[in-house]
Amino acid sequence: MHDSKEKRPVSDDQAPVPEVIAVVPCAGHATRIAPLPCSKELLPVALDRSTAEAPPVKVVSSYLLHKLRTAGIRRAFLILRKGKWDIPDYYGDGAEVGVNLAYLVVRRTYGPPYTIDEAYPFIRGARIAFGFPDILFGPTDAYARGLEALSQSRADLVLGLFRPHDESASDLVDIDSRGRIRKLLIQPHHTRLVWTWIFAVWTPTFTEFMHEYLTVPRTAAQDSGAGLVHELTVGHVIQAAIRAGLQTQSIAFPEHRYLDVGTPQGLVRLASLHGLAEFGVDAPLAAE
């Protein structure tokens, strides 16, 4: 006898949408601007006198967390290395920034992808919002727009694209007329490409790809005969994903700029600005 209530397979359109979790790498040594009195993620960049309740000094990473919160993201993993205890001491559980924060500590890292992969047991199955905590960029709803593009395009990965300041120091992205990513070049010396990526959102498919890609023994990259780069970047993993046929899409922000505070050039630019509104930051500069 047939059961009239036999379960039917769930279509892709009816399947539940995975939660979005942010992953923020904070394990770097900031060698380009060392020595510093604090972690570079906590460099003060602005003052906020709009309310007595909020901390008056705004640190660079707080703007990334604000963008995540604006996109409705309420969980984030900040991945540290030993000695960067000032970050959890400053943010605590994230109540003041409106994002529930958890911290993971890596012993050694051979580049940002390995740092990200430390969170794999906690983020597998989720959609991921990724960003660098020492880079300011606009607009405030950048992640919301990126996640919308991820859903509409059904891509495995979406990159947020901006006009580069220095092509030779950036990962440059080649896209077609529909914004699909054709290739990514890592710090090319000569190119006509006009886009660099600053943030990314992706599906569990890319998380699994990265995890498998990193199964090469971590010490192998230190072996001169291994044929591997000394330090792997997220760009290298994206390159490999494109070659492997993962669906990659982009969303461009030609009207906005970015500022990498983790470089000497970025600090000089920061000191010369009269405000940060173009990066989605409304508060006046701390130096004013």
Structural domains of the chain, ranges and CATH numbers in brackets: 20-158+198-224+256-279 (3.90.550.10)
Which pLDDT score is estimated for 272? 79
Average model confidence (pLDDT) for the chain? 86
- Residue recorded with tokens 């600053």: 198
**Alpha-carbon torsion (238, 239, 243, 244), positive or negative:** negative
Return the closest-CA partner of residue 58 out of 198, 261, 253.
Answer: 261
What tens digit of pLDDT does each residue of 177-219 get? Answer: 999 999 999 988 888 899 999 999 999 999 999 999 998 765 5
More confident residue, 35 or 205: 205
The alpha carbon of residue 111 and the mean position of all alpha carbons in its chain are separated, in whole angstroms, by 14
Which pLDDT score is estimated for 51? 62
More confident residue, 209 or 6: 209
- Is 124 within 8 Å of 208 (Cβ atoms)? yes
Mean pLDDT over residues 148-155, rounded? 97
Cα–Cα dist 108/160, whole Å: 28
Mean pLDDT over residues 156-172, rounded? 89
- Is 168 within 8 Å of 187 (Cβ atoms)? yes
Cα–Cα dist 113/115, whole Å: 5
- The pTM assigned to this predicted structure is 0.86
From first CA to last CA, the distance across the chain in angstroms is 79
